[in-house]
Chains A and B, each alone.
Chain A
Amino acid sequence: MRSASSRRSRWGLRTLGLGYLALLLLAPLVLIFYKTFEHGLAPPLDAITSPNGLHALKLSLLMVAIAVPLNTIFGIGCALLLVRHRWKGNAVIDAVINLPFAISPVVIGLSLFLLYGTKGWLGPDLAEAGIEILFSVPGMVLASIFVSVPFVVRETVPVLQEIGTEQEQAASTLGANAWQTFWRVTLPAIRWGVAYGVVLTTARVLGEFGAVSIVSGSRSGETETLPLFVQKAFDNFEFAGAYGASVLLALLALTTLLAMNVLKRKEDA
């Protein structure tokens, strides 16, 4: 009797969990895929391979190429600081790291606007020096970095705590200096935490809309990333472009996730 009722409740929970995911996450995504290819491959492909579409793709990849390595290096360093070097400032760093999670991306965009705008704190001086931040690529990079700062830190900190310091101490007794210990012992031990952080950072940077939208000005073929391209196409009733770019975004994110899984499985085997 007990096992029967527990089996029933187990199935109940499963159905509930899967149903929730299916209805709220999978159904809309499946619908996008369906809508995209409703009239065959040609319309979405044409939209994406248009000059504006290709430029948006290039710009999105550029954001990833700049923001992800920077946040990875910063994230690992920050995690090491938080876990390995205890001091009072850590509580402050820990809280600040979480800000991008807590603040709406639109607000982040606005704050960058205030800082670098023509009437902002830094804007006029930078403009004088001939450096353009707003409505150009540098501003978009800054926004992308801002919104994706926490991921590598958050994924690396628990792994660093878990591996402890003994392996690092063992390395030092064997003659390894701090740099050698980091590359040969610490980094290999935390690599999957870092990798997961990188995947999340990549997905976030690819998908970022709000902050980038405000600082970029969203000029087609100039300062338009894929999410901005989707929105503009949608506003202009160019559904093929909107759906096509959406699917492309989803595929890019999936590819990074798959790439990590493949690498991991290869190593575990």
Chain B
Amino acid sequence: MGISVEGATKSFGDFQALDDVSIEVPDGSLTALLGPSGSGKSTLLRAIAGLETLDSGSVLIDGEDVSKKPTQKREVGFVFQHYAAFKHMTVFENVGFGLKIRKWDKAKIGDRVHELLDLVQLHGLADRYPSQLSGGQRQRMALARALAVEPQVLLLDEPFGALDAKVRKDLRTWLRRLHEEMHVTTIFVTHDQEEAMDVAGQLVVMNQGRVEQSGSADDLYEHPANEFVMSFVGEVNRLGESFVRPHDIEVVLDADDRTEQGMVQRIVALGFEIRVEFVLGDGTEIWAQLTRNELQRLELREGQIAYLRPVQAKSFNGSSPSNDHGASTPHGNRDGGDAEVSAAV
């Protein structure tokens, strides 16, 4: 079931959470809403679920306008950052909740719940209470609960935000596999670009209540629409009016007409990657990402003079994303077509 949002606008008092946002999520896709806190990504997700009412604009699920439908009739599965487990119910009762509401008979509920507990690898924990589970287990329980009623779409609001790094990584791999198996249209919200790129087939980058750009991870990384997207989906240096990624800076020991002179300020070894920080003649600080081998070949020392050659610099005509509403998205988001990405998963 595809989801589309058209011209969504929402404010909380003076704060503009959503400002004329349109997105298009294709049937069966796994899409990430990516952005810093306060960018409106969670509000957008909650609006799709009906947990927020839009000031204007509409939400369509499978072509049907559901804007006026209450949450309980939208058939969306929703997973909350802090699990929202029913604390007074066992794992079994939590997962079976939606089925009980739908008045399934007991035997059928039992079968379905156990099937789901197997899916989320919680078999054997059916009689536990949420307080007896770890964070990762609680979130898997919440996911099973959301999936039990076979929702048309699955919405996850920073689902791994409250978990520690190791569990996060495991769960996101697991979520990607789950999606490959189930093919339910899924949107998940995150502020972590690595997580978004790892899990999602397509990304929607949001900032200050607007969509900055949509596309595949490659698209956004290689062809960012503006400075905000470029710096949000990866590391970036600013060189005058243009921007360059640290791995697109070549460091050489001999000057030519395309190089700039810089002094090595600091060398930080991050395993195989080396971060070399330079200060240029005009005081600009930039850093280059080298491999350990490159560093050894160049024999760089702190305080040494070297020459930098940007291999691939980008400029966005000096426009900053925040004062260039809409136009900064190359695909144009007024027709809602910006998120239709051809790059497959």
Contact = CB atoms under 8 A, between A and B. Distances in A.
A177 interface: yes
Contacts of A177: 70, 72
Contact of B88 (A172, A173, A189): A189
A170 B78 CA distance: 7
Contacts of A49: none
A169 B101 contact: no
A161 interface: no
Nearest to B142: A170
A180 B87 contact: no
Contact of B72 (A166, A172, A189): A172
B247 interface: no
Contact of A166 (B50, B80, B146): B80
Nearest to B98: A174
A174 B149 CA distance: 7
A167 B87 contact: yes
Q: How large is the interface on B (under 10, 10 to 19, 20 to 34, 35 or more residues)?
A: 20 to 34
A170 B86 CA distance: 9
A245 to B, nearest CB: 40
Contacts of A173: 49, 51, 71-72, 74, 76-78, 146
B84 interface: yes
B82 A169 contact: no
Contacts of A174: 72, 97-98, 101, 145-146, 149
Interface in B213-230: none
Interface in B83-126: 84-89, 97-98, 101-102
A176 B80 CA distance: 17
A185 B75 CA distance: 19
B86 A169 contact: no
A96 B160 CA distance: 44
A169 B80 contact: yes
B51 A169 contact: yes
Contacts of B80: 166, 169-170
A189 B84 contact: no
A176 B94 CA distance: 13
A173 B48 CA distance: 11
A189 B74 CA distance: 25
Contacts of B84: 166-167, 169-170
Interface string A170-187: 111111110010001100
B88 A166 contact: no
A188 interface: yes
A125 B77 CA distance: 58
A91 to B, nearest CB: 18
A205 to B, nearest CB: 29
Contacts of B49: 173
Contacts of B75: 175
Given A169-B71, A173-B72, 19 more contacts: A166-B80, A167-B84, A167-B85, A167-B87, A169-B80, A170-B80, A170-B84, A171-B86, A171-B97, A172-B50, A172-B70, A172-B72, A173-B49, A173-B71, A173-B76, A174-B98, A174-B145, A175-B101, A184-B101
The 7 A-B pairs at the shortest CB distance, nearest first, are namely A174-B98, A166-B84, A173-B78, A170-B84, A172-B71, A188-B88, A175-B101
27 contacts: A166-B84, A167-B84, A167-B85, A169-B71, A169-B78, A169-B84, A170-B78, A170-B84, A171-B97, A172-B51, A172-B70, A172-B71, A172-B72, A173-B49, A173-B74, A173-B77, A173-B78, A174-B145, A174-B146, A174-B149, A175-B102, A175-B149, A176-B72, A176-B98, A176-B101, A188-B89, A189-B87
